Structure 1
């Protein structure tokens, strides 16, 4: 019988990459999504069927935060994370053979805007504002479950970089059209991770049964926005990039229906627990990561 992995909300950039890697390893993949005819959020009994007998559940479900934070979108961002997490926990409780490991997505945005020091799992300070409230509620809905047969780990994922989509597409376009300079002050920290390391971290937690709880899922060498944009231009062979001052970003964000927080918040997050537990990053430095991607 084939070994099975369940990807909840596995239709986005990260989910597609994980699916491809797990298929290479010979796993059968069950994807739970709104659009699935087989395993759908709208039919909870199919979610339980997907989870029964699975080796691993990875939950990435949630509306993209790349939108304007109006009342309707805020509500959807919030409920699409907490309700799906609660549905999965209740489905696990119904399983005859529950998955031994449940990895739930969280976000590195849970920490405060930090230009003074890095945030670790133990010493990081939780921030304030809408995005932080979402992250806190998301983790609470996950850890409120006490599952006797299922280990739980939450990944506070930084900005994920990888080939073929995700956030690299807009950054590459900015550089290509000569707009790849600093954004805002350029001093804000940019915590990032290569999508291959996201996959390997999941495998590492799966292989090491003593690991559970909260992990910062970010590369060990965050850079400033200035350093990141320079590295993007170098990887693409672009000589210069015009800077984007804050007022221009505010204007542009309205036009492309997003929020400047995604670019201007200083996320200075380091993976202290993963490194202490012996995980070795495939892409610890931004230059090698971007060379591989571009």
Structure 2
């Protein structure tokens, strides 16, 4: 087996499942730190933690090849004061906790990846944002990302390399954004959202997983990495492509006013749909990372080849 141990903090969600399945064939042990009860399935072991206090779980970080922190309350909700606090605390507190745990270890993880978000950049329709020249935006979601990354980089882990992985919208067949967009298409609602000019910076789930392995191999890389495909697309093109490859020619558009009503009814925020995230992975490309799915066409054909 290639790796001895990989730890996924908060790894019981969609992306955690993708990562666990990706590493399962060639890793001796995968540890998932979760609020769920302890269990074991093959080489995947779930360890209970509350993401707030130290405990026996800290020992499982010892001698890990990599720690990936996926903790965070889902932002698909209304930004009430209560939800805002929970969204921030669910990211900042586990990050601080993991940093303190690493400080105690004789042999800490070689690499610590904090999966943050590409939404930290401003709304951009004029030119793309990257790690070197990208401009940080404003508003609640950006504030969350800034506090999250500041906490991460302030932790003292001299023996552990750190990467903040600014993840784009992850596309896959089982969960996340793609199945929800596909449902809109199936019901004839797969037109553009808003004016359709907002950019979508996406990443296929297999590239999201492969990128973490690539970071383990490229030991000279640390700091901030944009984890997005090299060809972002506009919302109108994304929906048109989905209709095309699914085989439905027509899709009703959703104007902004209708999205506002719909978001209020289902308890979410229109920012998640209307913000233009035009983000490119300059550092990955500069270091010759080879994408499995560099274009939306390839990604959609692959995802739709799996039963959804």
- TM-score > 0.5, shorter chain as reference: yes
The residue that corresponds to 2:289 in the other structure is 279
Deviations 1:81-108 (A, max 9, x none): 0000000000001112101100111100
Q: 1:12 Cα deviation (Å)?
A: 1.0
Deviations 1:45-99 (A, max 9, x none): 2231120121110001100111111111111100000000000000001112101
Q: 1:197 aligns with which of 175, 198, 207?
A: 207
Q: 1:235 Cα deviation (Å)?
A: 1.7
8 Å Cα contact 1:39/1:50 also seen in 2: no
Alignment root-mean-square deviation, CA: 1.2
Separation of aligned partners in 1, 2:125 and 2:246: 28
TM (norm. structure 1) is: 0.98
Q: Which moved more, 1:21-30 or 1:204-213?
A: 21-30
Matched, 1:22 2:31: no
Q: Which moved more, 1:158-167 or 1:39-48?
A: 39-48
Matched residues, number: 294
Separation of aligned partners in 2, 1:167 and 1:204: 25
The residue that corresponds to 1:8 in the other structure is 9
Q: Note the residue ranges of structure 1 that are not aligned, 5 or more in a row.
A: none
Separation of aligned partners in 2, 1:254 and 1:27: 46
Deviations 1:175-200 (A, max 9, x none): 00000000000011111000100111
Q: 1:43 Cα deviation (Å)?
A: 4.8
SS of structure 2 residue aligned to 1:133: helix
Matched, 1:107 2:117: yes
The residue that corresponds to 2:227 in the other structure is 217
The residue that corresponds to 1:206 in the other structure is 216
The residue that corresponds to 1:79 in the other structure is 89
Matched, 1:39 2:40: no
8 Å Cα contact 2:191/2:250 also seen in 1: yes
The residue that corresponds to 1:177 in the other structure is 187
Q: 1:35 Cα deviation (Å)?
A: 1.9
Separation of aligned partners in 2, 1:83 and 1:146: 15
1:118-133 correspondence runs (5 A): 118-133=128-143
1:65-76 correspondence runs (5 A): 65-76=75-86
The residue that corresponds to 2:239 in the other structure is 229
Deviations 1:184-231 (A, max 9, x none): 000111110001001111011100110100001100000000000001
Q: 1:146 Cα deviation (Å)?
A: 2.7
Q: Note the residue ranges of structure 2 that are not aligned, 5 or more in a row.
A: 39-46
The residue that corresponds to 2:164 in the other structure is 154
Deviations 1:240-284 (A, max 9, x none): 100000000000011111111111000000000110011011111
